[in-house]
């Protein structure tokens, strides 16, 4: 596949990494492309077809997450291609790497450990705390039961069986945190931020502690286009429980797409570049 190296390449996420969100993930990329297209030459391909690109692009909007696609993107990046998000930041969202980076950044996250599957049972002590979340230790959830809450030892056999059957060798064990779960979305250093309660749907964008936590987490990983989950505890603290690269922005697709397009346009025209780790 030929490609105009002066233009922008959009890369769709692999369907296996978009469980239940294939259309929503496609929608945010397509909406960004529509916002950019009057001023930019843009082509869009699936991550699976990256190997067919015969001319390295100057700019890439990538939702890819598979090792094969990231290897191609890294080679382009090393040769000068500007990628939103960078390959290192996407790799930094893999579970084990993510927890390590958030812990080094000393951000408020639940007690978390990545354990070999065989060591999970001995690492759990059930009590009145609300139990644990068990999450596959490599990538984000790609099938049912890749993330499961267990409140007692009785729930452990089913979870262990799932991980064993799917060849998952490491599991993130994370303490449950009581409170209101919040979905948040962001772009750049304050270019865009919004947040909603997963329970009531209420807009929580104006909570300063939450927005600061989200941006610090993105900076720790190097993400420019990001989303995640946090818990607002009964005491009013914000605790981060997940972070991911280029989410679907399903609650705010159009305004987010406008901001992403503006962000990319500003940088591509020589504006200040918010490089990985400097958000």
pLDDT per position as a tens digit, 140-178: 989 899 999 999 999 999 999 999 999 999 999 999 999
Please tell me the distance from the alpha carbon of residue 168 to that of residue 165, in angstroms, as a whole number: 8
- pLDDT reported for residue 278: 42
Q: Which regions in the chain score pLDDT beneath 70?
A: 1-6, 39, 271-279
Residue 272: what pLDDT?
Answer: 60
Residue 100 lies in a domain: no
Domain-embedded: residue 278 = no
* Strand partners of residue 46: 12
Name residue 238's beta-bridge partners: 232
* pLDDT computed for residue 276 by the predictor: 40
Final residue in a domain of this structure, among 124, 146, 175? 175
Whether 221 contacts 243, CB under 8 Å: yes
- pLDDT at site 39: 65
Does any domain span residue 65?
yes
The Cα 67–Cα 80 span in angstroms is: 20
In what order do the strands lie in the sheet containing 112-116? 112-116, 170-175, 132-136, 147-150
The DSSP H or E segment spanning 215 is helix 208-221
Q: Is the domain of 193 the same as that of 224?
A: yes
Q: Is residue 36 part of a domain?
A: yes
What's the CATH code of the domain at 221?
Answer: 3.30.470.20
The pLDDT value given to residue 23:
93
Instruction: Report how many domains make up the chain.
Output: 3
Cβ neighbours of residue 59 closer than 8 Å, sequence gap 6 or more: 7, 8, 9, 81, 82, 83, 84, 264, 268
Any bridge partners for residue 115, and if so which?
A: 171
Instruction: Give a yes or no: residue 147 inside a domain.
Output: yes
Q: What is the pLDDT of residue 2?
A: 35
**What string of DSSP letters covers 39-81?**
TS-EEEEEGGGGGG--S--SEEEE---SHHHHHHHHHHHHTT-
Regarding whether 229 and 190 lie in a shared domain, the answer is: yes
CATH of residue 157's domain is 3.30.1490
Decide if 101 is inside a domain: no
Q: Are residues 124 and 186 in the same domain?
A: no
Among 28, 27, 93, 29, residue whose Cα is nearest residue 65 = 93
pLDDT at 190: 84
Q: Which residue range(s) make up the domain with 65?
A: 8-93+257-264
Same domain, 13 and 85: yes
Q: Is residue 128 part of a domain?
A: yes
Does residue 233 belong to any structural domain of this protein?
Answer: yes
Judgement on whether residues 157 and 204 belong to the same structural domain of the protein: no
Are both 164 and 194 inside the same structural domain? no
> What does the pLDDT read at residue 201?
92
Query: Taking Cα atoms as reference points, which of 265, 196, 181, 245 lies closest to residue 13?
Result: 245
For residues 49 and 74, membership in a common domain is answered with: yes
Could you write out the DSSP letters of every residue in 226-268? EEEEEEE-TTS-EEEEEEEES---TTSHHHHHHHHHHHHHHHH
Shared domain check, 80 and 16: yes
pLDDT tens digits along 111-142: 999 999 999 999 898 877 789 999 999 999 89
Closest CA to 6 of 78, 82, 116: 82
Q: Are 274 and 87 in contact (CB under 8 A)?
A: no
**CATH number for the domain harbouring residue 38:** 3.40.50
Q: Are 123 and 66 members of one domain?
A: no
């Amino acid at each position: 596949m030929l490609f105009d190296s002066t233009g922008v390449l959009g890369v769709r996420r692999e369907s296996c990494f978009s469980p239940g969100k294939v259309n929503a993930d496609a929608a945010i990329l397509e909406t960004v492309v529509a916002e950019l297209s009057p001023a930019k030459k843009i082509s869009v391909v699936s991550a699976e077809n990256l190997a067919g690109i015969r001319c390295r692009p100057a700019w890439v909007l990538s939702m890819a997450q598979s090792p094969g696609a990231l290897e191609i993107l890294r080679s382009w990046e090393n040769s000068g291609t500007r990628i939103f998000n960078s390959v290192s930041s996407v790799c930094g969202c893999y579970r084990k790497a993510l927890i390590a980076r958030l812990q080094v950044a000393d951000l408020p996250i639940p007690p978390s450990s990545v354990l070999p599957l065989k060591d999970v049972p001995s690492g759990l002590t059930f009590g009145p705390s609300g139990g644990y979340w068990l999450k596959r230790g490599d990538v984000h959830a790609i099938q049912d039961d890749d993330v499961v809450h267990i409140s007692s030892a009785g729930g452990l056999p089913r979870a262990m069986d799932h991980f064993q059957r799917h060849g998952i060798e490491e599991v993130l064990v994370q303490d449950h945190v009581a409170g209101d779960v919040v979905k948040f979305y962001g772009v750049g250093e304050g270019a865009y931020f919004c947040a909603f309660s997963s329970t009531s749907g209420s807009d929580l964008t104006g909570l300063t502690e939450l927005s600061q936590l989200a941006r610090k987490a993105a900076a720790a990983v190097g993400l420019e286009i990001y989303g995640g989950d946090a818990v607002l505890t009964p005491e009013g603290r914000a605790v981060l429980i997940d972070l991911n690269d280029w989410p679907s922005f399903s609650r705010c697709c159009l305004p987010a797409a406008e901001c992403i397009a503006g962000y990319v346009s500003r940088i591509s025209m020589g504006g200040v570049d918010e490089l990985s780790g400097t958000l």
